[in-house]
């Protein structure tokens, strides 16, 4: 009799802090972008030896592009968001603190907007 076990790869995001709003001023619009440091703090637990993917899904149309820092390299994403693969070394409870530079859409007006990105993770 032989027995085999398959462990399904999984990843879980634990959010410590997530900005809920983005305040855009007239000065931000004149400059063309808004910088937000420390807007997302979270940790990722995974059993995957291959790593995990962080997904950035936009929920509104206020930016033309976004630069994400805090993932090792500066990441540039378009208005449709995108995904960033995190491979080795995989730490059991990997912490991340992300900053963002949103290059504003030319139609954006000053005001308070819901945070423009939803973050999620999945195992590779």
pLDDT tens digit sequence for 33-57: 999 999 999 999 999 989 999 999 9
Tell me what the mean pLDDT of segment 61-83 comes to. Answer: 96
Share of the chain above pLDDT 70, in %: 98
The answer, yes or no, to whether residue 90 has pLDDT greater than 80, is no
Residues with Cβ within 8 Å of 118's Cβ and at least 6 positions away in sequence, in order, are 56, 57, 58, 59
Amino acid 1: pLDDT = 79
Q: Which domains does the chain have, with CATH numbers?
A: 17-123 (2.60.120)
CA atoms 119, 71, 40, 33: torsion sign? negative
pLDDT tens, 110-122? 999 999 999 999 9
What pairs with residue 93 in β-bridges?
45
- pTM score: 0.90
User: What b/e sequence results for 50-61 when a residue is b if at least 16 CB atoms lie within 10 Å of its CB, and e otherwise?
Assistant: ebbbbebebeee
pLDDT tens, 1-31? 788 777 788 999 999 999 999 999 999 999 9
């Amino acid at each position: 009799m032989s027995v085999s076990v398959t462990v399904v790869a999984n990843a879980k995001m634990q959010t410590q802090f997530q900005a809920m709003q983005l305040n855009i001023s007239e000065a931000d619009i004149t400059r063309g972008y808004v910088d937000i440091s420390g807007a997302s703090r979270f940790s990722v637990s995974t059993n995957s030896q291959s790593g995990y993917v962080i997904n950035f899904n936009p929920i509104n149309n206020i930016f033309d592009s976004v630069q994400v820092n805090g993932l090792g390299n500066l990441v540039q994403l378009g208005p449709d968001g995108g995904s960033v693969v995190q491979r080795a070394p995989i730490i059991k409870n990997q912490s991340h603190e992300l900053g963002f530079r949103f290059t504003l859409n030319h139609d954006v007006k000053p005001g308070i907007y819901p945070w423009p990105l939803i973050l999620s993770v999945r195992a590779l």
